Amino acid sequence: MLNCSRRFVQSVSDSIATRLSRALRISDYKAPIPPTAVVTPDLPQATEMEKKGNRLDKFLSGVASMFNEEKYSDTTVLIHGVTLHAHRLIICLQSPYFTKALKEAFVEGSTGAIEFQEGSGIAHWRVFEYLYTGNYSDSLSNKDFEEDPELCKDLRVYVLADMFFLEDLKALALEKFKRNLEDLWMSDSFPECVREVYKSTYERDHALRSVVVEVAATHAHDLGSNGIFKDLVYEGGDFVVDYFEKLLYIMEPNE
């Protein structure tokens, strides 16, 4: 009887030992670590968008290089007698004015050229420079022309852009005009600039008119001591009406 008990105890003890041994082996088990993948950086590759951008830049650069270039030129523009070599594809795609002008210029017996004898020669030149480059020079880029007064050069480009249906050029010229006016509103040329703005723009086109009125009203105190500006006010006209309306609006108390 005693021997049976001992055997039972021994059996239970062995069973417990076996289970403990298995449990210890399981807890010590460590999953194999997979080998670290070696990541090699991809060689830089241009995306499809970048490729298109590069092609566009190259194309625009090529168009800009054709400004007043006789190579491939298929039409002539005469500005106050100065020849400008132009390309119908470039100028007509951007302005219906030139499409119509060239259609009329190539009728039987005509010279086949577009001529501009009126207005500012350098302003016309700047318009064509913009058609090729997307911008125009602030300084005199063609010595065959006289430079316009500083405050008038951008407004003259603006007026031509309106005539040629070039809305983007109008926006560019207006922005340049504003920047110039910030520095030159106290100059003696400001009143003459105002006269030209009102003479060369329609009442429906408020952009240029609003700019000069805003500047004049903002600096009314300083301009009030400027004799040349006073002469402008004494002349009356649309500017004076707009000017005093703006002053009254500024002085009106906020409700």
pTM: 0.76
| Residue where one domain finishes, among candidates 178, 210, 236 | 178
Residue 229 has pLDDT above 70, yes or no: yes
Question: 86 lies in a domain?
Answer: yes
**Cα–Cα distance, 196 to 207 (Å, whole number):** 14
Question: 49 lies in a domain?
Answer: no
**Cα–Cα distance, 82 to 157 (Å, whole number):** 18
Structure tokens at 226: 């400027």
- Do 112 and 169 belong together in one domain? yes
| Residue where one domain finishes, among candidates 131, 146, 178 | 178
Query: Would you state the pLDDT for residue 44?
Result: 59
| Residue where one domain finishes, among candidates 122, 152, 178 | 178
Using a 10 angstrom Cβ sphere, with 0-12 exposed, 13-18 middle and 19 or more buried, the burial of residue 247 is: middle
- Do 196 and 100 belong together in one domain? no
**Cα–Cα distance, 62 to 186 (Å, whole number):** 42
Instruction: Determine the structural domain holding residue 153 and report its residue range.
Output: 56-178
Q: For position 82, which CATH number holds?
A: 3.30.710.10
Structure tokens at 64: 């800009």
Residue 108 has pLDDT above 80, yes or no: no
- Do 94 and 145 belong together in one domain? yes
Residue 3 has pLDDT above 70, yes or no: no
- Do 105 and 205 belong together in one domain? no
Containing 255, the helix (H) or strand (E) segment is none
Q: What type of residue sits at position 169?
A: L
Residue whose token pair is 């990541």: 39
Which residues are paired to 76 by β-bridges? 85, 113
